[in-house]
């Protein structure tokens, strides 16, 4: 996983099948953090996606370790990924701490960050 000059997180699936990666990004834009009002994609919470023949694994972080909506966000993410990929999907919690630099370019404009 790397980031390019537009701060788009590059998932492993992007190297294998960019179309599937983009399709998944669009599906996961529907998962919105209710406290912040931005999608998990805009926030940069999805850190990696690995897809094999028979399953998918999404690595995700939360904006805060004790996010009250964490369990709901994780489950919504799993459901959207499974539907988009048509594969059983697991969500793995990443160890990174979230910060504003992980957000998509322009996503923090309403907060005066960009």
pLDDT tens-place string over residues 35-64? 999 999 999 999 999 999 999 999 999 999
* Band (114; pLDDT cuts 50, 70, 90): very low
Say if CB 83 and CB 27 are below 8 A apart.
yes
DSSP state of 95: -
Q: What are phi and psi for residue 6, nearest 5 degrees?
A: -100, 15
pLDDT for 9 equals 81
Note the CATH number of domain 7-102: 3.30.300.130
Ranges 14-23, 25-34, 52-61, 97-106: which has the least confidence: 97-106
- The overall average pLDDT reported for the chain is 89
To 10 degrees, the CA torsion angle through 109, 2, 89, 23? 60
In which residue are the tokens 């995700």 written? 60
């Amino acid at each position: 996983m790397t980031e390019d000059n537009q701060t788009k997180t590059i998932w492993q699936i992007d190297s294998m099948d960019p179309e599937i990666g983009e399709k998944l990004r669009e599906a996961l834009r529907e998962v919105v953090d209710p406290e912040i009002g931005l999608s998990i994609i805009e926030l940069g919470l999805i850190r990696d996606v690995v897809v094999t023949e028979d399953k998918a694994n999404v690595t995700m972080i939360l904006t805060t370790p004790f996010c009250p909506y964490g369990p709901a966000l994780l489950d919504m993410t799993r459901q959207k990924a499974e539907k988009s990929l048509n594969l059983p999907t697991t969500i793995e919690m990443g160890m990174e701490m979230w910060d504003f630099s992980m957000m998509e370019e322009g996503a923090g404009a309403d907060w005066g960050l960009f």
